[in-house]
Structure 1
Amino acid sequence: MDGTQRSNIRPGIKVQVVQKQDQRTGKLTEGIVKDILTKAPFHSRGIKVRLESGIIGRVQIIEASD
């Protein structure tokens, strides 16, 4: 699924995000969405979220739910 559309993201889903300091390398961090921080319905670099671990990043990959 597409991490640039806010409608695809809900609290509780597993995603992979890129943190600000990792944008150059593209290193992804996996976690569960706690809060959606982007208010707009679309963002070209990914919707910004806070994970349950407290990490903030932009959604790159939404993992398929089982």
Structure 2
Amino acid sequence: MEKKTLPGSIRKNIQIDSEVTIVQKHHQQSGELTEGFVKKILTSSPTHPHGIKVMLDTGEVGRVKEVFVED
């Protein structure tokens, strides 16, 4: 089963337990991605140009670049 992705800049694409890739603040220059599952959504606005800020179940915080959805 192939996974599709949705943009991480739209809040309605992201739910608790969504599988996502994020860029943590200290990795913004390198663009290094961290994959995980959303524990908490930290951005309250419906969109954000750099990605919705979330906390992963591991405690890491960053802006969502992609949201994985099962096809």
Relative to the length of structure 2, the TM-score reads: 0.89
Aligned to 2:20: 15
Q: Do structure 1's residue 26 and structure 2's residue 41 form an aligned pair? A: no
1:59 maps to what in 2?
64
Structure 2 residue matching 1:64: 3-state secondary structure: strand
The residue that corresponds to 2:9 in the other structure is: 4
1 or 2, which has the higher strand percentage? Answer: 2
One-letter amino acid of the structure 2 residue matched with residue 51 of structure 1? L
Structure 1: 4+ residue segments shifted above 6 A:
none
TM norm structure 1: 0.96
For structure 2, the residue ranges without an aligned partner over 5 or more in a row are 1-5
For this pair of structures, how many residues does the alignment match? 66
Identity of aligned residues (%): 47
Larger Rg: 2
Which whole-Å CA distance do the structure 1 matches of 2:45 and 2:70 have between them? 24
